[in-house]
Structure 1
């Protein structure tokens, strides 16, 4: 099924990138009449994508045997640039390279730099998820392995969530979260934890790092710790909106929950323990009705030729659209 990622505000008519296994399409959607029209199209079997609507760029990777090719597309012109090539033979053993599959994540930083996380080994208990983090300079062709160590003792090879966030003063940060474990899993683990040998991924960390600092220093030494949570605490529904970073913090030791809000612009932290407020926050995806929802609900009921998944940050909707020329 096609994914639709908006490149501007979703309203009656908006533009989006349509992603399928073998093409990338810049298109225009009309939610009122339920149609989708191709503006520009690129037929290619891509591996990972990184869309940045602030800079009107789409970056993607293409795997060809043991080589990863990185490309950039300007969303206005749709001109494709083959930026740089990463040869996996230089980093992985022959045994690892025998496996066709791999896990990877591509992160857009700016017009010059990308981050690329990759592993070629099977997921295994007590080892980090990724093997390498590469800083890719698409202007000079330089590729550098980054030290994954974070301040206060965590490791970014354990990456769970990574997002670009922009404050209202135009400061550009990466939001980093480690610990590939969900809140309910961690609560279950807590009940039977061996304090001398806790589950490897028991540690969750939330960090912020300024993108300019990451590029200048080419390490994560300047990452600021927002939360460091061991086996007895967990975070849920990490969300950023309008300078505010929010999440629900659960402490299993005292059976307590609180909604934590960091105002990143002024550096203020607020905590709320109101049960209803916390429940409303956790049910955000279920309860919210965005301004365009009445269009979505109508299209869901109609018989249309093609199905799409519309992804608007944390909100996901199924809809059907007719293609027009």
Structure 2
């Protein structure tokens, strides 16, 4: 049964890769809106997550109706991202400029071209297609990607994503592979807004004023190798085109505090998300772990799915947490990653 399901999955995706590049852009935009709207109504769990994320992030800034509008827009942007990924064989080194406006910092780009660099973005807008554009512009990335359960789908996505010269690698020994590529003056492309288990590979930052546990790989790579962290986003435009915007290049020193640098990078992205909230992936569980409250008891400031984590309490500077939470974590002993998972 599993093999049969895998067969039909890849046949359907192969059909999309064949068909979508043959459709005009305006029809692709209609298709993305239809698929996004359907997903919004059919994905009850994801819709609930998105709406509660918006409640916790913005409070009373948006009414319930406005939150639903933003959440629906987020589904539409995400659908457009993957419609355009299947359309991307139409994008070439000669044609990409028809679809993108680039706002960049040329000195930062030139330094990265000479020395290599760590390029970071959140799940904002079309993070898939803008990666390909930078490949066409002479910045081939090494990117870590999670494998699908269906190996044929993994191969298909790898082929689509590598069209402009990138190399996609598995998560096994990812840091070692990335360091080898960067030492050859290469480029690493990373998504930084992942919610991961608190531990050695994570740090605590405030996202919309709420603590969360995110990866530090981008900061550690830059600190160890003396490279720039280049931040940017890709915003979809109503006419089917995109605006890719590079922000400041951050150059952390080995002695810099990793948490503070990670927070600084996120603050750049949060400012952009606040301008265009529908462009962020609100249906993702951004706050899986929280350092406040009690185990098994929901906290009104955090989404319904968040879990109390002693390990995250230990990662937050004590002066930034309510003292009762610090004392509670200390009284229960050393944090247990197994218990927090």
TM-score by length of 1: 0.27
Q: Which has the higher helix share?
A: 2
Q: Which has the higher strand share?
A: 1
